[in-house]
Amino acid sequence: MRKNLLLTVLLTGIMGTAMAQKDNLEDMLNDKDAPKKKDFVTATFKATRIISSSSVENLGQGTLDFRISHRFGLLNQGYENTYGLDGATTHLALDYGIKPWLMVGIAHSGFLKENDAFAKIKILRQVKHGMPITLSYMGSVSVQTTPAPTLPSVDSNKWFLSNRFYYCNQILIARKFSDAISIQIMPTMVHYNLVDSSKFSNNTFAIGIGGRVKLNKRIAITGEYFYRLTNADMTVAGEKTYNALSLGVDIETGGHVFQLMLTNSQGMTDRTYIAQTATNWADGGIRLGFNISRIFAIVKPKEFRGKDADKW
């Protein structure tokens, strides 16, 4: 009898303890002070480029972007050159998302026959009621493949492969103020291993600003401007250069973004549009251009893997 009574008391105690632990666990789960999942801000921009410059947006992991960019000739070239349409230059690019925070790419530009590569690293992400900005770093390198120029007699045999290389380092600081408005600031340094004259620095420092205003779910107005803090009077092949200004329209179609723009920049690599823009809006030096891309899922997301993976 005593054994049965003791067993009953013991079981009652165990059940009571279990119920108390359950109540405590529920209280913890419902505790308002418990850590909450961060509510990250998304779609600060709709594409990985604002116009020519990089945005803070990255491709998804395992995603490949094949992008074709065109910049046509000057609109003021007249009817004989179809208002610039006969003078197109092309930039072909392949970008890939390695991780959600890491994106890389390679490209070839017909303008100045240049090959380039870049990496973009997302450092901070904007959080609702938390981190106010998204912060990324973008670094690129390009190499020009045009024939070596004829140098002054003393230096005629001193043309090195390193003379063809150029580098760009950018900090991308962006904030999405609302569903309609996003702004990005871009402190930039462009390094030239070789410049046209000893009076110019090998390093060009610039500050860029870009933004987007959404008109509706599928159309947005974009713009970007780069102001050179140094080398503002740099010449290229004896021609004066100007700050780059571009205005565009983003049109989203079926998950892809078609970008149409007006710009005074013919180049599409970082060092050419930031530091070597040779025409000016005020003089009618405006070009029509566009970016168009095709996205491919190279690595399927985890949630689509398994026996039903082929259905997506």
Condensed to tens digits (0 to 9), the pLDDT of residues 210-235 reads: 999 999 999 999 999 999 999 999 98
pLDDT at residue number 160? 85
Question: Using 50, 70 and 90 to split pLDDT, how confident is the model at 105?
Answer: very high
Rounded Cα distance between 29 and 143, Å, is 56
Task: State yes or no: pLDDT of 278 exceeds 90.
Answer: yes
pLDDT at residue number 85? 86
pLDDT at residue number 22? 47
All structural domains of the chain: 63-293 (2.40.160.40)
Among 61-75, 239-253, 295-309, name the one with the lowest average pLDDT.
Answer: 295-309
Task: State yes or no: pLDDT of 311 exceeds 50.
Answer: no
pLDDT, mean of residues 278-305? 86
pLDDT at residue number 312? 31
pLDDT digits (tens, 9 = 90+) for 165-208: 999 999 999 999 999 999 999 999 999 998 877 789 999 999 99
pLDDT at residue number 131? 95
pLDDT digits (tens, 9 = 90+) for 75-100: 988 777 788 888 889 999 999 999 99
Over pLDDT 90: what percentage of the chain? 64
pLDDT, mean of residues 285-296? 93
pLDDT, mean of residues 277-303? 89
pLDDT digits (tens, 9 = 90+) for 133-153: 999 999 999 999 988 777 665
pLDDT digits (tens, 9 = 90+) for 41-73: 999 999 999 999 999 999 999 999 999 999 999
pLDDT digits (tens, 9 = 90+) for 246-275: 999 999 887 678 999 999 999 999 999 999
Question: Using 50, 70 and 90 to split pLDDT, how confident is the model at 158?
Answer: confident
Nearest to 34 by CA among 42, 43, 24, 44: 24
DSSP string covering the chain = -HHHHHHHHHHHHHHHHHHHHHHHHHHHHT-TTS-----B---SSSSSBSSSSB-S--PPTTEEEEEEEEEEEEGGG-GGGGGGGGG-EEEEEEEEEEETTEEEEEEEETTTTEEEEEEEEEEE--BTTS---EEEEEEEEEEE-SPPPPPPGGGTT---GGGGEEEEEEEEEEEE-SSSEEEEEEEEEEEESS-SSTTS-SEEEEEEEEEEEESSSSEEEEEEEEEESS-TT-EETTEE-B--EEEEEEEEETTEEEEEEEES----SHHHHHH-B---GGGT--EEEEEEEEEEESS--GGG-STTGGG-
pLDDT at residue number 31? 54
pLDDT at residue number 18? 47
